Amino acid sequence: MTKKKFNPNKKRGNNKAVKKPDYKHQALQQPTEQTEAIRLNKYIANAGVCSRREADKLIEKGEITVDGEVIKELGYKVKPGQVVVHEKSVLKPENRVYLLLNKPKGFLSTTSDPEGRKTVMDLVSKACLEKVFPVGRLDRSTTGLLLFTNDGELSKKLTQPKHQIKKIYQVSLNKPITKNDFEEILSGITLDDEKVFVDDLAIVDGDNSTLGIEIHLGKNRIVKRIFEHLGYNVTKLDRVVYGSLTKKDLPRGKWRFLTEKEVLWLK
């Protein structure tokens, strides 16, 4: 088996080398003060309720009022000063906020938990006044990069399978991977009657039990399922790269704001 040193910034396939972002920049908070008429679905999205597409559904269902009148016209434009209401709450466009957390083990990737268990929101609750939410999920036992935002449209884009954002994980197994299994993963394996391909696979340590895996698929537990399918137990799973974002200068359990360039890369 050929051993390859795992380098998250290495060029792979058609991927371009990623420039290192300037982490000294201040938080990116895009002002959304309304100065002209904008489409109602965009107004709702800017208020952090949902994406524009989901906003269209709310409008069609008659769940949105403007100045007390139910609006079902998808092309309706909201003028400055008009009052938009959803579920008895007045909607106001928020500043766009983007946070990156290096998630520790033992936290749920949800905004709340009925059983009172720790969630990732406990780690970012004091980051900003805006109401942010996690983009996608990491298992409770999985560590690494997790993005937060109140930008519904960007969240929708990043979590849609067709966009296939790059993710790199460091995986620790309960036993060394065999040459045949290593090559089978690279050539593609079948899960639930569907062929699954990874973009790259590399040996990280000397005993062949720790690997780096690059994948663009966003399916639930896809990395663990790949190795479990071949008879391995994943003892540790750490997401070290998300899109163009890395864990550089971000200790476990800490968060930081994204720079303007980083947000543009994601969009």
pLDDT in tens, 22-62: 444 344 444 445 568 889 998 998 887 887 888 999 999 99
In the prediction, which pLDDT does 107 show?
98
Q: Go through the domains of the chain in sequence order and give each one's CATH number.
A: 31-90 (3.10.290.10), 96-161+245-266 (3.30.70.580), 166-242 (3.30.70.1560)
Closest-CA residue to 266 (of 144, 140, 123, 96) = 96
In the prediction, which pLDDT does 34 show?
59
- Give me the percent of the chain exceeding a pLDDT of 90: 64
In the prediction, which pLDDT does 2 show?
53
> Which H or E run includes 157?
helix 152-159
**Dmax (CA) of the chain:** 68
Task: Count Cβ neighbours within 10 Å for each residue of 204-237 and write b for 16 or more, e otherwise.
Answer: beeebbbbbbbbeebeeebbbbbbebbebebeeb
d(CA 239, CA 105): 12
Q: What totals of helices (H) and strands (E) does the chain contain, helices first?
A: 7, 18
In the prediction, which pLDDT does 180 show?
97
In the prediction, which pLDDT does 231 show?
97
pTM (whole model) above 0.85: no
pLDDT in tens, 160-200: 877 789 999 999 999 999 999 999 999 999 998 889 999 99
**Statement: residue 67 has pLDDT above 60:** yes
- pLDDT band of 21, cuts 50, 70, 90: very low
d(CA 56, CA 61): 9
- pLDDT band of 11, cuts 50, 70, 90: very low
**Statement: residue 207 has pLDDT above 60:** yes
DSSP-H helix ranges across 25-141: 40-46, 52-60, 121-124
In the prediction, which pLDDT does 45 show?
83
User: Long-range CB contacts (< 8 A, 24+ apart) of 189-197?
Assistant: 189/226, 189/229, 189/230, 191/222, 191/225, 191/226, 191/229, 196/222, 196/226
Tell me the average pLDDT of the chain.
Answer: 87
pLDDT in tens, 102-144: 999 999 999 999 999 999 999 999 999 888 999 999 999 999 9
- Residues annotated as part of the active site: 139
In the prediction, which pLDDT does 242 show?
96
**Statement: residue 14 has pLDDT above 50:** no
In the prediction, which pLDDT does 20 show?
42
